[in-house]
Amino acid sequence: MKTRMDLGQELPKAYDAMLGMEKFVITSSLEKSLIELVKIRASQINGCAFCIMMHTADARKHGETEKRIYALSAWRDTPYFTERESAALALTESITLIAQNHVPDSVYEEAARHFDTKQLGELIMAIITINGWNRLAISTGKMPE
């Protein structure tokens, strides 16, 4: 597939707004490795090859192991993720697939047990932001190199 459009070139103000959201996420109080796990998991669900490749490399830079990266799509069936990470991944799946079940109270409440209000807001913003990037990359035909 060929790249259809460079949104940054065509609509720089819109692209800058997305970059502003990304800057918020990467400067949040959340652990960098957790942010990358969230980004990879949402990208797996959405089928965004570009984002999977980018965030897998970024996760490695932030200390993620190959074992955990490989197991991420089946995180519920492995012993590799903490309760906090599992709560974040469950919330990631619920928000990414929001049309299916919205966000069940049980998923939100479990996340709230592991994150304070500010961190939970930051986590939600991280999930929303990567979903935006996934949709942007897929719709414009952005491909990994």
Alpha-carbon dihedral 70, 112, 127, 37, rounded to 10 degrees: -20
Block means of pLDDT (10 residues each) for the chain, 145 residues, are 83 95 98 99 97 98 97 98 99 98 97 99 99 96 81
Tokens encoding 77: 């069936």
Rounded-to-integer distance, Cα 21 and Cα 19, Å: 5
Q: Read off the pTM.
A: 0.95
Which domains can be identified in the chain, with CATH numbers? 12-140 (1.20.1290.10)
Q: How far is CA 51 from CA 1, 80, 114, 119, in A?
A: 16, 22, 26, 23
Query: What secondary structure does DSSP assign to 29-60, as a single string?
Result: SS-HHHHHHHHHHHHHHHT-HHHHHHHHHHHH
- Write down the pLDDT at residue 142: 85
- Write down the pLDDT at residue 54: 96
- Write down the pLDDT at residue 41: 99
- Write down the pLDDT at residue 59: 98
- Write down the pLDDT at residue 28: 98
- Write down the pLDDT at residue 72: 98
- Write down the pLDDT at residue 1: 65
- Write down the pLDDT at residue 144: 76
